[in-house]
Amino acid sequence: MSAARVGIVTFPGTLDDQDAARAVRLAGAEAVPLWHADRDLRGVDAVFLPGGFSYGDYLRCGAISRFAPLMDELIPAARSGLPVLGTCNGFQILCEAHLLPGALTRNAGLHYICRDQRIRVENTGTAWTREFTPGQEIVLPIKHGEGRYVADAQTLAALERDGRVVFRYAGDNPNGSLNDIAGIANEAGNIVGLMPHPEHAVEELTGAPSVDGRGFFTSILKKLVNA
Amino acid sequence: MARVIVDVMLKPEILDPQGQAIAGALPRLGFSGVSAVRQGKRFELELDGPADEAALSDVRKMAETLLANTVIEDFSIKVEE
């Protein structure tokens, strides 16, 4: 059978699309470039929204990208079950697009943070985390200035109750995120957003702290192959 | 022609570390008597026509859709005389 096709979205100001494509290819899938201005998902089986500073983070992180022509196609497809992963700026875009609840705000300490971070995988039932074990601690790079997850009390309670907090910071909370939240999923578990960067942790060669990021891509591949 | 001002502020319950940093800087610069600072955004919209009810209703939609993220921010609209 032909390889699973994972779309990698590039907006003006996206930085991590090349690493994202590489991570997808390393896992054995085909990386399909998707351009923000096209109204075409090119028949992909899943979509990766990588990090960066789309539209220069003007207005709010992800606020302009959310209205890109490609998003008009992606939003309904994601609501119908297309697996979507957003990391960092991609997570911010998913929140601005209301595909995930809550918002990412300025880090509590105001500093831009760039470091290796321990993360606990809390939910292994999503399309992107099934290759991990519940409670597993992994190490991924984080690099962001606006990663403090906030949501109203009712939303937070619902996320916790339904197991939709997929990742939590282990050890120090780097940015003041409520409930130490590093990543969440939608109700169906096909849409996952997180601030850390799995695509930067797939190869020893690049000096990554781990290759723990591989699990995201083997998870989605296994799901697509078995679908 | 009319000018409409949209002020966007983080909701009171949302931490504003920028405002806190400014509040912390004021005493260091010799200013006293300020107990808290909240930082927000101000948008000045130049309308093609008058700021009538229909135009203001559109501005409200713009604010809800783009200018503010109502998950974390409140906005207020006023017409500049």
Q: Identify the structural domains of chain B with CATH numbers, from first to last.
A: 2-80 (3.30.1280.10)
Q: Is the pTM of this model over 0.90?
A: yes
CA neighbor of B8 nearest in space, from A146, A60, A101: A60
For tokens 């991609």, name the residue.
A90
The single-letter code of the amino acid at B38 is: R
- Among A36, A61, A73, A88, the active-site one is A88
Helix (H) or strand (E) holding B18: helix B17-28
* 227 residues of chain A, pLDDT tens digit each: 568 999 999 999 999 999 999 999 999 999 999 999 999 999 999 999 999 999 999 999 999 999 999 999 999 999 999 999 999 999 999 999 999 999 999 999 989 999 999 999 999 999 999 999 999 999 999 999 999 999 999 999 999 999 999 999 999 999 999 999 999 999 999 999 999 999 999 998 877 789 999 999 999 999 888 86
Q: What is the DSSP string of A175-220?
A: S--GGGEEEEE-TTSSEEEESS-GGGSS-GGGT-S-STTHHHHHHH
Minimum Cα–Cα distance from A153: chain B residue:
B13
How big is the A-B interface in CB pairs under 8 Å? 36
Closest by Cβ to A103, choosing from B21, B66, B69: B69
Can you read off the two tokens belonging to residue B3?
Answer: 């000018």
A71: Cβ contacts below 8 Å, ≥ 6 apart: A36, A65, A93, A97
CA neighbor of A27 nearest in space, from A205, A201, A208: A201
Q: Which CATH number do you get for residue A152?
A: 3.40.50.880
Number of domains in chain A: 1
The whole domain housing A213 covers 5-226
Q: Would you call A36 a catalytic residue per the annotation?
A: no
Sign of CA dihedral B31, B10, A166, A113: negative
- Among A95, A122, A144, A197, the active-site one is A197
